[in-house]
Amino acid sequence: MKKTPLLVLALAVAPAFAANQDEAMTALAKNAGCLTCHHIEPGAKGPDGMAPIGPAWRDVAAKYKGVKGAQAQLTATVMKGSSPYESHWKGQVSGLSMPPNAVAIKEADAKKLVGWILALETKK
């Protein structure tokens, strides 16, 4: 019985932590300029009603679900940029490739952000 209050506290804190995490990650993405090209939710249009410049992050989560090493691979892509000759989202986005973001975000932060992106649940 002694342990009950701690357990109750942990249960109450967990959702608040998740919400804070969402806020922190959204702020990080905004500050690093990611949200100029990316939406979190699929379906939103880019400038002039064209396809969005980059893939929606919920779509990224769906594409790499269960893929081993996705976090490391995507963190490297975010830092170094993607190759227009090897587009992973051809035809789905209006941007040809992602420029390197190393000037805008630290690698450790990019890794955290990518981890958060990959954990986004796919909308049913």
* Binding interface with ligand HEC (CB under 6 A): 32-34, 36-38, 53-55, 60, 74, 77-78, 82, 87-89, 93, 95, 97-99, 101, 104-105, 110, 113-114, 117
Would you state the torsion angle of the CA atoms of residues 23, 27, 28, 34, taken in this order, to the nearest 10 degrees? 120
| Residue (39 or 74) nearer to ligand HEC, CB | 74
| Residue (4 or 33) nearer to ligand HEC, CB | 33
Q: Phi-psi region for residue 51, left (φ > 0), alpha (ψ -120 to 50) or beta?
A: beta
- Smallest separation (angstroms) from ligand HEC to the CB of 124: 22
Report residue 56 as tokens.
């929606």
| Residues 95, 35, 88, 91, CA torsion sign | negative
Instruction: Give the 3-state secondary structure of residue 56.
Output: coil
| Residue (10 or 96) nearer to ligand HEC, CB | 96
- Smallest separation (angstroms) from ligand HEC to the CB of 10: 30
| End-to-end CA gap in the chain | 40
Radius of gyration of the chain (CA): 17
- Smallest separation (angstroms) from ligand HEC to the CB of 48: 15
| Residue (26 or 87) nearer to ligand HEC, CB | 87
